Structure 1
Amino acid sequence: MVKHILFDFDGTLVDSRALLVKLYNEIAGQHQFRKIREQDLALLRTLSIAERVDRLGVPALQIPKLVIAGRQLYQENIRTLHVVPGMKEVIARLSSHGLKSSILSSNSEANIRLFLKNNKMEGSFKEVISAKLLFGKHHAIRKVMKQWGTTPARMIYVGDELRDIEACKKLGVPIVAVTWGYDAPRLLLRGQPDYVVNTPGELLRTLLTLA
C-alpha cells in the first residue's frame, strides 16, 4: 500500500518545456552549440538525454556548467511558468485521501519553492528535494527512503522521463510515467515503467487504487 508519492517537477507538475528550449538556445548561442528548432522537438522527445546531447553536439564535460547557468536563467523566467492543467487538483485530492506528496527534482530547491509560492501551492507538499546530479536521482531516492524509514513498496514515483524510470528500477520503486512531459511515450515504454498515464485524471485514479 502506497503512503508516500514523489513527484518529478519539470514536465510532470510544471509545463516548462518551451522555457527550457528557449533557455537552452540562449546558452547554445553563447557557446556555439547547435540550437533546437521547432521541427526538432518531436524527434528529440524520442531520444534519451545522452542521445540528445550527442545530436546537439554538446560536449559532455560542459554539461554541469550548463546546468548551473540554466538554473539561474530559469529562476529569472519562473513567473512565466504554469502548473500542468489538472495537476493542482490532483495534489489536493491526494492530500484529502491522506497521501503525502513530495517533490524530487534535478531542478534547484530555490526554483521549485519560488514556483510553488507564485502558484499558491506552498503547503501542498511535505518536502522539496533537489537531486544535485542530472543522473543521480536514484541516490536521492535512496536517501529519502532512509530518512522516511520506508520501503519501495510503500512509495511511488511520478515522472516524465526515461531517466526517472531507470532511477526507480535500480531501487525497485514503482513508477508512474506521464506522457505529457519531456519524453515521448515510446521512449518511456523503453524503460518499462510500472504504469503509464495520459492525463492528470488518469494519474489520480491510478494513484488512488494503489493507496
Structure 2
Amino acid sequence: MSKHVLFDFDGTLVDSRALLVKLYNEIAEENRFRKIRNSDLVMLRSLSISERVHWLGVPALQIPKLILTGRRRYQDNLRFLQVVPGMKEVIGRLASSGHKISILSSNSTSNIKQLLKQNRMDSAFDEVVSAKHLHGKHHSIKSIMKRWGVPASRIVYVGDELRDIEACKKLGVPIIAVTWGYDAPSLLRRGNPDYLVNAPGELLHTLQTLTT
C-alpha cells in the first residue's frame, strides 16, 4: 500500500488562481502579451499548458524569466492567499495518522514554506521540493523516489493538472487528480488519472483507502 503522499501546491492545497491571473496580466501588460479576461478562464482551464502558452502568444524563450518574475511578485502577495477550504483538515488527519507527507511544486520552496507557516501547517510536511522545469515534474518525482528509497507503488501523488498526471504515468506512480484546481475535469480525464475527486472529503476517503 502507498504510504508516502506527495502533494502539488498551487490549485491543490492553495487557491491561487485569481492571484496568478492578476500577476500574469501585470507581466503581460509590461511585455505586450495577450491578457486574460474573466470570460477566458473557463476556456483556458480546458487547455494544456502548451496550448495556453500558444493561445497567449508568449515566446517560449521568455518563459523561464517570466516564471522568476512571477515567483517574486507571488511572494509579495502571500498574505492574500487562502488554503482550499477543507484541505487543512485533510492534511491534519493524514499527519496525525503518521504518514509521510511532502510537497512537490513548480512554485519556490520559500513561497510554499512561508504560506504553510502563516497557516500553521508547516509541521505537517516532511519535505518541500521545487520542481525545476515546467514540463519536467517526472524528473523531480523520480529524484524523490530515489532519495526516499521507495518504488512507485509506495507513493501516491495528489495534483490538479494534466501535467501532474502525465508525469506520474511516466513513472507508474498512482495519482489522485482534484477537480477544484487549475485544469478542468474534462482535461484531467484526458490524462486518465487513477482517481478523480471533486471535494477534499472525497480526497481524504480515497487517501485513507490507499494508505491503510
Is TM-score (shorter-chain normalized) higher than 0.5? yes
| Greater mean alpha carbon deviation, residues 11-20 or residues 56-65 | 56-65
In the alignment, what sits opposite 1:145?
A: 145
Residue equivalent to 1:17: 17
Q: Deviations over 1:59-109 (max 9, x none)?
A: 111111100000000001111001000000001111222211100001000
- Structure 1, residues 15-58: CA drift from partner, whole Å, max 9, x if none? 00000000000000000000000000000000000000101111
| 1:178 paired residue number | 178
SS across alignment from 2:15: coil
TM-score normalised per structure 1 = 0.99
Can you list the C-alpha shifts for 1:174-200, whole angstroms capped at 9, x where unaligned? 000000000000000000000000000
Q: What is the distance in 2 between the residues matched to 1:10 and 1:96?
A: 23
Q: What is the TM-score with the length of structure 2 in the denominator?
A: 0.99
Q: CA RMSD in A?
A: 0.5
Counterpart in the other structure of 1:42? 42
Q: What is the Cα deviation at residue 10 of structure 1?
A: 0.1
Compute the displacement of 1:132 (Å): 1.2
Distance in 2 (alpha carbons) for counterparts of 1:98 and 1:196: 24
The AA in structure 2 aligned to 1:194 is D
Deviation by residue 1:135-156 (Cα, 9 ceiling, x = unmatched): 1110100000000000110110
What amino acid maps onto 1:201 in structure 2?
G
Query: Aligned equivalents of 1:71 and 1:134: distance in 2?
Result: 13
Match of 2:61 in 1: 61
Q: Aligned residue for 1:207? A: 207
Q: Percent of pairs identical after alignment?
A: 71
Structure 1 residues not aligned, in runs of 5+: none
The answer for the alignment partner of 1:32 in structure 2 is 32
1 CA distance for matches of 2:78 and 2:142? 29
Residue type of the alignment partner of 1:107: N
**How many residues matched?**
211
Task: Within 5 Å, give how 1:14-163 maps onto structure 2.
Answer: 14-163=14-163
Of the structure 1 ranges 91-100 and 167-176, higher mean CA displacement relative to structure 2 is found in: 91-100
Give the structure 2 partner of residue 192 of structure 1: 192
